[in-house]
A and B are shown apart, each in its own frame.
Chain A
Amino acid sequence: DIQMTQSPSSLSASVGDRVTITCRASQSISSFLNWYQQKPGKAPKLLIYAASSLQSGVPSRFSGSGSGTDFTLTISSLQPEDFATYYCQQSYSPPRTFGQGTKVEIK
């Protein structure tokens, strides 16, 4: 199985901050990397697919980059509604695997 490792596991940030979350795959996954946002008690929501493509309806302050084994999710200016847990997920080969999550909390 391809292991996905996110860092940090949690972070504290203020509204307006630029936030960066990284995801590392245990082997090359090309650009088969997706990012999801999950709020408490809710289903995950797709933000970014294929490493850098913004899902329809997702604000442009979210962006993704990377290929191979190293990927980044960036929130350019953190908004109150962005406090949540973020997961990366590889779709290069089954089984589909997720990172352990990064919780973004209010400073």
Chain B
Amino acid sequence: QLQLQESGPGLVKPSETMSLTCTVSGGSISSSFYYWGWVRQPPGKGLEWIGSIYYRGSTFYNPSLQSRVTISVDTSKNQFSLNLTSVTAADTAVYFCASDYTTDVNYFDYWGQGTLVTVSS
């Protein structure tokens, strides 16, 4: 069974770049069945998909964030990462990484516990 764990700073200053890493255990990030995704949730609000990456590096992003988002993968470490540039208070949220099962159907089946990132000076 897959396990995912987010890591990274919990506090980021406005206009700076936020970076998070998700470590995958219990399976290979190089699986052909999975993309690997990021989802965020502002305090008290709903879920927003940020983007997903395949182990070979192909990505797709939410157009609402595409200009500021980069997702990368490191297969040697079984990790994938999120960079979000020019952050503002609106980017304050719990950030989840998730396995993005993708075959003839698609769903997020395993999730990290989430990490709160606060944007504040």
Spell out A's residues near B (CB within 8 Å): 1, 32, 34, 36, 38, 42-46, 49-50, 53, 55, 87, 89, 91, 94-101
Interface membership of B26, Cβ < 8 A:
no
Contact A32–B106 (Cβ < 8 Å): yes
Does more than half of chain B's interface fall in helix, strand or loop, or is it mixed? strand
Contact B47–A87 (Cβ < 8 Å): yes
B window 52-93: CB within 8 A of A: 52, 60-64
Residues of A within 8 A of B96 (CB): 43-44
Task: Report the minimal beta-carbon distance from B45 to chain A, rounded to whole angstroms.
Answer: 9
Supposing A1-B63, A32-B106 touch, asked if A98 and B111 sit within 8 A by C-beta, the answer is: no
In angstroms, Cα B37 to Cα A93, docked, is 15
Say which residue of B37, B49, B63, B109 sits within 8 Å of A98 (CB atoms).
B49
Say which residue of A43, A45, A91 sits within 8 Å of B105 (CB atoms).
A91
Say which residue of B37, B48, B112 sits within 8 Å of A43 (CB atoms).
B112
In angstroms, Cα B49 to Cα A94, docked, is 10
Between-chain CB contacts (< 8 Å), 14 pairs: A43-B112, A43-B113, A45-B111, A49-B105, A53-B105, A87-B46, A89-B47, A91-B105, A91-B107, A95-B49, A96-B49, A96-B62, A98-B48, A99-B46
Contact A101–B107 (Cβ < 8 Å): no
Closest to A85 in B: B46
In angstroms, Cα B42 to Cα A98, docked, is 14
